[in-house]
Amino acid sequence: MSKLTKKHIKIIICCVVIVVLTITAVFVSYGIIYSVRRNDEAPVEAASYTGVSGDKIHFLNTGSSDAILLESEGKFAMVDCGEDSDNPRGLPELDLEGYENKIVEYVKKTAGDENGKVTLEFVIGTHAHSDHLGGFDTLISDPDITVKEAYLKRYYEDRIAINEVEEWDNREVYSQMISAANKRGVTICQDLDGVTLALGNYTLTLYNTAEATEGKRVGENDNSLAVLVEKGGTKALLAGDVNINGGVEKSIGKQVGKIDLLKVGHHGYGWSTRSAFLSSTSPEIAIFTNKPEWVTFPVKFRLAMNSRSAMFSTGECNGIIAVLGDEAGEITLLKNIH
C-alpha cells in the first residue's frame, strides 16, 4: 500500500469537514424548524373552548393512547376510546393507567344536552389494542350515553402474533366492546370495505379495511384502520396505529394524497410515518397522541425535514382541539381542553 501524501491527507480532511458540516447543518435546521413551528405557531389558549364555533376534532389527553371526539353541526362521534384500567389476566405489563372515566366525563361535558344526555352517531375502533378500544365498554355502557352504531374490524386471534396472544389483552378488550354494544342494542358494523360515513359537514372514509389474512400471523397494528375526515377542501387523517408492514402506510398515503392535518400513526413510535408516506401526504400539522418525550426522534426528524409539519403533542398541550373552518385548509388549534 502506498503512503498517503500531503495532498491525500488534505483531501481526506476536507471530506471529513464537509460531512461534519452537512450533518451539523441538518441537525441545526431540524432544531430551528421544530422550535419555530412549536412556538411561533403554537395553539392558542382555550379559556372557554365551548364558545368557539365551527366543526371540531377533539384530541383528548390520554397518555400514549387515542381518544378522539368528532363534532360537526351539533353531531358527535368517536374514533377510539383510550387506555382502560382493566387487567383481566393480572399481567404486570398490563397494569396501566386507565382513562375511561376521564373520557366519559369529557364527552358528557362537551356533547351533553340540557339533560346531560349524549348521543354519539357512531364510534370507530381502529384495532383491538387496549390503548385504542380500552374505554369503549365503559363509554357504551354509560346510561347517559347512546351510541347508534359501532364500526370495527373482526378480530381473529389465530391470525395475531403469538407474543400478543400470550402477553396482551387484545381478545378481552375486543370482547368487552362487543358485549357492551350488544347489551345496549348498538348496531355493530364489521364489513367495512367501501364504507363512508357522514357526520354533519364531515365525510369519513375508512382505509385498510380488509380483514387479516387467514393462515398468517401479524401484529394487530398491521390491521389498524385509518380514518380520513374531510370538510370541503380540508383533510385530516387519523392514522390509528397504521405502520409500514406490507406497504399499508405507503398505500394509504398514495390513496389519500395531500392532507392538512395528521394524527400521527402509532403515537410517534417507530415503524410508522416514513418518508414515502410523508411525500404523498405532506401534512401541515402533525399531532402526537403521546407525551413529547416518548415520540421517537426519527419520526420528528422526518416530519420536520420531509413535510415541514408543525408538531404538537396531546401530552404537552393537555389535549388539543382542531377547529376546521369553512375555507380549504383553515385549521385553528386550541389547547388545555381538560
Cell numbers for 221, please give them: 397494528
Considering the domain boundaries, does residue 16 fall inside one? no
Contacts of 138 (CB under 8 A, 6+ apart): 81, 84, 100, 101, 103, 104, 180
> Which ranges in 119-247 belong to alpha helices (H)?
130-133, 136-141, 162-167, 170-183
Q: Has residue 7 got a pLDDT over 70? A: no
Q: pTM of the full predicted structure?
A: 0.87
Considering the domain boundaries, does residue 258 fall inside one? yes
* Structure confidence by residue, pLDDT tens digits, 163-210: 999 999 999 999 999 999 999 999 999 999 999 999 999 999 999 999
Q: What is the mean pLDDT of residues 281-297?
A: 97
Considering the domain boundaries, does residue 17 fall inside one? no
Considering the domain boundaries, does residue 130 fall inside one? yes
Per-residue pLDDT band for 226 (boundaries 50, 70, 90) equals: very high
* Structure confidence by residue, pLDDT tens digits, 15-28: 544 444 444 444 43
Q: What is the mean pLDDT of the chain?
A: 89
Considering the domain boundaries, does residue 9 fall inside one? no
Considering the domain boundaries, does residue 36 fall inside one? no
Q: Euclidean distance between the first and final Cα of the chain, in Å?
A: 69
Higher pLDDT, 49 or 287: 287
Considering the domain boundaries, does residue 89 fall inside one? yes
CA distance readout (Å), 195 to 84, 146, 198: 28, 22, 10
* Structure confidence by residue, pLDDT tens digits, 63-105: 999 999 999 999 999 999 999 999 988 888 888 999 999 999 9
Considering the domain boundaries, does residue 100 fall inside one? yes
- Domain count for the chain: 1
CATH number at residue 322: 3.60.15.10
Q: What is the mean pLDDT of residues 269-290?
A: 97
Q: What is the mean pLDDT of residues 107-135?
A: 97
Q: Has residue 3 got a pLDDT over 80? A: no
What range defines the domain where residue 48 resides?
41-335
